[in-house]
Structure 1
Amino acid sequence: MEKIKKDEIITAAKQYMQRHGMSQNALARTCGISASYLSNLLNGVYEYKSGPDKVTEIADRYFIAIASVIGFEIEQTFWKVEPTPQFVIAISALERAHLNCTARFGGVKMIIGEKGCGKTTAIDQYCKANPTNTFRVTINAEDGIRDILEEIGRLLDLDLPMQKGARLRLIGSEFRRRALCGERNMLILDEGENTKLPGIRAYKAIYDMIKGYAAFAIAGTADLLKLLDRLELRGVNGVPQFKSRMKANTIILPPIDRKFENFMYKVKDENLRKILVELCTDYRELNDYLEPAIIAAHKDGVALTDDYFRTMYGIMKNNNNGTAKRY
């Protein structure tokens, strides 16, 4: 990356921090880079001493990470976020929960939607717009309660004790402390359907500790609701209460428009539109197919056509069933 581009990113980062009242440590944490690296970059030092007589440039990936967080476009953007009904409703739900973060029962939302409908995109955009007071944890299938609590602790700059109960109490105390200092914070748990049983119990405990002091939102697919139903049937302690608290605060997003009308203005070729409808089952898959094709066609200086797309992805002309088929 050229130095002039690095300078532009760092200038934009300083403006971003000033605009949002964000500390260096907070930006470093959000970008996933070390505070010392960020300090060097903000001071215009783009290299470090890696040996007695050796100086190494700080890798481009750190500048790219900063640019991604602050919304700085390094290259021409070929795909922008579309205000689908799912996106608009999810953003609205997050805003309402955050607005009511100091209400005893108001600052909570459960957002349920299909896989690939844009829940995570909405959360990404909300966190970028509110970088200093949103704390977002994405849960994967391998995460246990220890992993989830450790990530919350990292986001809050807490040195957590070993005992789970003590960890939960410290997290709750920190949110309360911040609220009493005038902060309006929000904890967002994404991909909640990946949660294991101890996590569900911990969610209730976290919510109970921070209600009235911070907003709490959890997003997931319908599998999360099924998980809660199964646990309730098994008589798992705390689950009925958690479901009851979430019941009036659950937002069910509308089904995905599988004609993808919000996105088809990007595609001029009618035949290509038909292929995309045949191939893709959700917005994420559409993006996975379409954005690389748009970029490739632009770099080749040609129109994105049915034939170009088929050649790029190895898709045969329609078979006897009328559906797209791979080579």
Structure 2
Amino acid sequence: MEFSTKQNIVKALKQYMELHQLSQSDVSKKSGVRKEYINIILKEDSNFMYDAGNKQGLIPVQHFHALAETCGFSIEKSYWQTQPTPQFVSVISNLKDSKEHGVTSVFFGETGSGKTHSIGVFASKNPHDTYVITVGSSDNLGDLIDKIIDQLKITTGKTKSAKLRDISKKMKELKAQGYKPQIIFDEAEYMKQPALCTMKELYDNLQNYCSIVLVGTDQLRENLDKLRKRNKAGIPQFYRRIKFGIRVIPTIDRSFGLFLQGIDKKLVNFLQRNCDNYGELHDCLVPALRESDISGEPLTVQLVRKVLNIPDGMYE
């Protein structure tokens, strides 16, 4: 990584810290970069060298990548810009509402509608008290609790009840300091039945101190409905608490008008015919934009086919 790039990351990080009133300790917790490194990096005219006794060297590059990600600085040229799509606006406004009023909510939206990206933008603008947990297909409640603990950077007891008490204690502390804690479970459609059934337990421990938001596809809705019909323990009680906090994210505008301005009409038609969502549009368009920038070739259907190795006749 070039020295000038490191300097630009530091500039962006300082601006981010000032905007959100973050301390070096806060940045260390968010980024995972040691406070000693951050102290050196933020010094005026720093050469980004550490000195540990008899050992000296450059601070490893991965720490600059971590800091860039924390403050939202793009190291490489970006070929995809955030657009105010109805889905983005809906997710941001609903997250803000849930956070402001401390309510538990569930958002349903199509795959590839930008839910994860929107959550990332929101969390970046609320770094003190917003915690994003990405649900894995094999996660149980214990795994999710451990992920929360990892995000909070706290030490807890070993039992599930002790961990929940310690999480609740941390949220109470944040609330007392004037913050509005929020835990967002992204890709919540992967929540297994036991985890969904015990969401009420998490809710009961965090009620009045922290808003909880589950974000997923219609599969999450289907899973909740199945459990309700089977009267699974905890689900009717949990559903009662979220019933009026359910939000449906608008469907995707498959004309992709916000993303395709100034693009060749034949390519626009190709993308509209073959891309079902924003994720697919990104995966199709960005590699071609990058190649066009490097090679100077015009952005056309032919370039997209070449870059993605799509044979003629396919996706006509």
Q: TM-score, normalised by structure 1?
A: 0.88
Name which of 172, 180, 184 aligns with 2:180: 184
Query: What corresponds to 1:269 in structure 2?
Result: 264
Comparing 158-167 and 256-265, the one that deviates more = 256-265
1:288 to 277, 280, 283: 283
Is residue 2:113 matched to residue 1:117?
A: yes
* 1:99 lines up with 2:100 in the alignment: yes
Query: Superposed, which structure 2 residues align to 1:191-270 within 5 Å?
Result: 191-265=187-261, 268-270=263-265
Partners of 2:198 and 2:234 within 8 A in 1: no
Task: Please tell me whether the aligned partners of residues 172 and 206 of structure 1 are also in contact (alpha carbons under 8 angstroms).
Answer: no
Aligned AA (2:88): F
Q: Which string of whole-angstrom CA distances, capped at 9 and with x for unpartnered residues, describes residues 140-172 of structure 1?
A: 112222221112112222112111111112211
Answer whether contact 2:287 2:307 (CA < 8 A) is retained. Answer: no
Picking from 296, 300, 306, the partner of 2:301 is 306
SS of the residue aligned with 2:131?
Answer: strand
Specify whether residues 290 and 32 from structure 1 end up closer, same or farther in structure 2 by C-alpha distance, changes over 3 A only. Answer: farther
Deviation track 1:279-303 (CA, whole Å, cap 9, x = no partner) reads: 3221111111111211110111222
Identity of aligned residues (%): 32
What is the CA distance between 1:51 and its match in structure 2? 9.9
Q: CA deviation at 1:78?
A: 2.0
Q: Does structure 1 residue 70 correspond to structure 2 residue 66? A: no
What displacement does 1:121 show? Answer: 1.1
The 1:178/1:51 distance shift into structure 2, 3 A limit, reads: closer
- TM-score, structure 2 normalization: 0.91
The corresponding residue for 2:48 is 46
| Contact 2:284–2:304 (Cα < 8 Å) also in 1 | no
Q: CA RMSD in A?
A: 2.1
Distance apart, 1:190 and its partner CA: 0.8
Pair 1:162-2:151 in alignment: no
Cα distance in 2 for residues equivalent to 1:56 and 1:274: 53
| Alpha-carbon distance, 1:188 to partner | 1.1
Instruction: Give the letter for the 1:64 counterpart.
Output: H
Structure 2 CA distance, aligned partners of 1:194 and 1:165?
23
User: Taking structure 1 as reference, are residues 37 and 142 closer, same or farther at Cα in structure 2, changes over 3 Å only?
Assistant: farther
SS at match of 2:261: helix
For each residue in 1:253-300, what CA deviation from the matched residue of structure 2 results, as whole angstroms up to 9, or x when unmatched? 12222232221115x222212222233221111111111211110111
Question: What displacement does 1:68 show?
Answer: 2.4
Number of corresponding residues: 314
- Give the letter for the 1:12 counterpart: A
Q: Per the alignment, in what secondary structure is the counterpart of residue 66 of structure 1? A: helix
**Which moves more between the two structures, 143-152 or 217-226?**
143-152
SS at 1:14 equivalent = helix
In structure 2, how many angstroms separate the alpha carbons of the residues matched to 1:31 and 1:185? 19
The residue aligned with 1:104 is none
